[in-house]
Amino acid sequence: MKHSEFTQLLMQWHMQKNTRQMPWKGEKDPYKIWLSEVILQQTRVEQGWSYYEKFIKAYPTLAKLANAKDEEVFKLWEGLGYYNRCKNLLYTARFIVKELNGVFPDEYEKILSLKGVGPYTASAIASFAFNKPYAVVDGNVFRVLSRWFGIDTAIDSAEGIKIFTSLAGKLIDKKNAGLYNQAIMDFGATVCKPALPLCSACDLQENCVAHEKRLVNHLPVKEKLLQRKNRWFTWFLFTHRNKIFVTKRTGKDIWQNLFEFYLVETDEKTEWQTDTINEVLKNQLSIANADIVHISPVFSQQLTHQNIKAVFIKIELSSVPVSLESYTCIGFNDIGKFAFPGIINQYLQSASMQSTLF
């Protein structure tokens, strides 16, 4: 039941509210879909957009690309990097023209056998061009499924890839495979974003496990976090009537079973200002009225495999929002009774913070 509910809600969002625009969106020509996917393999949509349009203008058909001179194609590719993508693009275009009579294959396995085409790209072409029921599984899909179903298996582990690929296959709308794949990718890119997701305006919020259990900023889990040199944490210290909200870390990450404040982790340092803070309060926690009391300087803690950089933001609330009801509310004088990670203790014990916090 939960599977069908997810698919139904996602498709409703897509048909009624998805306004994301891209030049290849809705495209049925397998050549153009393939071209867009190759460009986007190592490239952000914003950068790949202009390259896609330049390629389509220069080579509007597969045959045009196959007959182009290498140096002309590589010149057009210039700036995208990862030039093996371009080499494979030319090789495969010429293979299809010479060996397949210029007809792009319409079966998943045959598409997958093309040079430079992996499972994700093959699924995208099969579903978008031919409406075959193959689910795309990329970072957006991992994130959406991990959060909505509350799955904490690492998405970059062999077990995680197996679990999420299987789940994605069960969820796909088999009659509208292309629309479904576009929907979940767009939803992950525009609503269920990696940082600052739009939880308060999310059509799938009600039955989202991560939202219910306050795990949005902890999912999805990645094994390779241990290999990252720097991680950027921002803790929001929500206070109300001389009390502060804390929660216990229960995931598989560092500092398990220690207490912390409301955490937002980002890939890079965030320049916190009133607008960005209010965006988090509104979009993640449905908090409309709050006073921003203090933004700390950056604190650091070196662990065995990673360096933690942290900023602390104190927020005074006029009332307790529903989004924080699962947190433990403690008096300022009781903070010392709880076990916190070292970096939080650094902040709590710093002389300049004592007057601000208490």
Per-residue pLDDT tens over the stretch 62-86? 999 999 988 888 888 877 777 788 8
The CA-based diameter of the chain, rounded to the nearest angstrom, is 78
How far is residue 129's CA from residue 141's CA, in Å, rounded to a whole number? 20
Q: Where are the beta strands (DSSP E) in the chain?
A: 230-240, 243-248, 259-260, 262-266, 290-295, 299-302, 307-317, 328-331
Report yes or no: 294 and 314 within 8 Å, Cβ to Cβ.
yes
Tell me the pLDDT tens digit for each residue of 216-227: 888 898 877 555
Core vs surface per residue 68-94: b (16+ CB within 10 A) or e: beeeebeebbeebeeeebbbbbbebbb
What is the model's pTM?
0.70
Per the annotation, the verdict on 212 as an active-site residue is no
Distance of CA 101 to CAs 93, 94, 98, 133, Å?
Answer: 11, 10, 6, 26
The token pair that represents 183 in the structure block: 């929907």
Residue 191, class by beta-carbon neighbours within 10 Å (0-12 exposed, 13-18 middle, 19+ buried)? buried
CB atoms within 10 A of CB 318: 12
User: Does position 236 have pLDDT exceeding 90, yes or no?
Assistant: yes
* Residue 106: per-residue pLDDT: 92
In this predicted model, what pLDDT tens digit does every residue of 191-216 receive, in sequence order? Answer: 999 888 999 889 999 889 998 888 88
User: Among 180, 179, 160, which residue's Cα sits nearest to residue 170?
Assistant: 180
Average pLDDT, the chain: 88
The domains located in the chain, with CATH, are 2-190 (1.10.340.30), 228-357 (3.90.79.10)
Per annotation, catalytic residue among 37, 46, 53, 78: 37
